Amino acid sequence: MRTAPTILHLDMDAFYAAVEQASKPSLRGKAVIVGGLGPRGVVATASYEARRYGVHSAMPTAQARRLCPNGAYVHPRFTLYRQVSDLVMGLLRELSPLVEPLSLDEAFVDLEAGGRAFDAPGARATGERLRADIAALTGLSGSVGLAGSKMLAKVASEEAKPNGLLLIEPGTERELLAPMPVRTLPGVGPATGEHLRRAGITTVGDLAEAGEDELVRMVGRAHGVGLYRMALGLDDRPVVAERDAKSVSVEDTFDVDLHDRVRIRGEVARLADRCVVRLRASGHSGRTIVLKVRRYDFSTLTRSETLRGPTDDPAVVREAAARLLEGVDTTGGVRLLGVGVTGLADYTQEDLFAQARTEGEAADGTTGAPQEAAGQEGAAAPEEPSGEPERAAARHWPAGSDVRHAVYGAGWVQGSGVGRVTVRFERPGSAPGRVRTFRVDDPELETSDPLPLVGEASSDLSTASPEG
């Protein structure tokens, strides 16, 4: 434990939903739910306006629609979320070289590693300046916790939500933690919380009073010792600057179980391509290809194949995933498919056979890539779409996705169905825009990349729709 509150934890507020509100002016101040939109969809993030109706992350989207029928339900746009995350992480790295990202919207920072001596007022001023810089750069809000340990800094940022800052002075940890529910502590989930409740332990103070021996008896040595130390506010874990990725993967859960073997092969090929896009974006190649199949009865199978060397060649990954699929029985239907790459490296050993095949196919006038089957909305966890925008020929218009019209400019899909797609034409920094409806096969309407929240987004306003 440190004697000064020099570990900072930043947690952006309702990040995905907040980015959607910032990039879509008509959604500001309204209930926004981001996640899978199909019957098996799951909420990834809900805006604070939606949370008032009881909507929260990991909730089935169908349940969210019953609680908040008038909310705006949009498909996630991970390309844009990552762009905004990079801006925020850049601000953190200006404070210290020791930044430990936990996700796109959350990170620890070791302020001491920045070369300055901090007391409580100095740490608080740094945290407030960071929040102001984030708001100025992105228009978003984040909550900051400051403490002498990682655990306490995370507890503090959670208590500060939304859009606040809480500093825990070293020496006050036990007093602050004592009245908090046991679920406040990291690693105390519903099952452990219920087990403790049955024993009459409902607060962190109760944990501390129970003592280490009793907690070890109740939940085992490793967990019991850890719980007791956390109840006392003790945590010596360092901030780790870079946590190397061990794998890269993508998966989709389908609205309706897939039975057609040809369709299943097409989905595996599509997932393999998406996985390679993510693999390359991380700057890695990988040696082991993994296929995940969840069947109609929820049984989950995984198969893997290790190559001669690491690769980021989409043809190689597609072929390996296809071989793995041949050994899987999909009789009865498939609920979820996933493709991953493990054994990551920061270099690539070219597969000469795959390269020769690709060159031969190009000479025949074909691409070698299988035709994509129409995708389904994600469910169990929203996944990042392919780096290439979906072409207009597919005529698939997920709610919230970015489009551009030859006449009206940039906009986003509000909804589609019965051969029509409804688009609102607006962009970051504009006033709420006008809505227009088109045929799904309108040749002047096409998918596009997201407009950034800052920089070129404002300069692009000159091409806005003539009707605003």
Question: Which residue bears the tokens 């309407």?
Answer: 445
Instruction: Compute the distance between CA of residue 320 and CA of residue 336 in angstroms, rounded to an integer.
Output: 18
Q: How far is CA 370 from CA 263, 276, 321, 361, in A?
A: 11, 15, 13, 12
Going by the DSSP 8-state scheme, the letter that residue 449 receives in this structure is P
Instruction: Compute the distance between CA of residue 47 and CA of residue 13 in angstroms, rounded to an integer.
Output: 8
One DSSP character per residue, 155-193 reads HHHHHH-SS-EEE--TT-HHHHHTTSBGGGSTT--HHHH
Task: Let me know if 159 is a catalytic residue.
Answer: no
Instruction: Compute the distance between CA of residue 274 and CA of residue 256 in angstroms, rounded to an integer.
Output: 21
Q: Helix (H, G, I), strand (E, B), or coil: what is residue 356?
A: helix
Pick the catalytic residue from 20, 49, 100, 106. 106
Identity of residue 458: S
Q: How far is CA 202 from CA 188, 194, 212, 218, 225, in A?
A: 11, 9, 16, 14, 18
Going by the DSSP 8-state scheme, the letter that residue 371 receives in this structure is P
Q: How far is CA 425 from CA 117, 202, 249, 407, in A?
A: 50, 51, 34, 11
Q: Estimate the share of the chain in helix, then strand, then coil, as percent rounded to the nearest 5.
A: 35, 25, 40
Question: Which residue bears the tokens 């010792």?
Answer: 225
Q: How many helices (H) and strands (E) does the chain have?
A: 15, 17
Per-residue tokens: 322? 């296809």
Going by the DSSP 8-state scheme, the letter that residue 149 receives in this structure is S
Question: Which residue bears the tokens 């740094």?
Answer: 126
Strands 106-110 and 7-12: antiparallel
Instruction: Compute the distance between CA of residue 432 and CA of residue 11 in angstroms, rounded to an integer.
Output: 28
Per-residue tokens: 460? 């692009």
> Which residues are known to be catalytic?
106
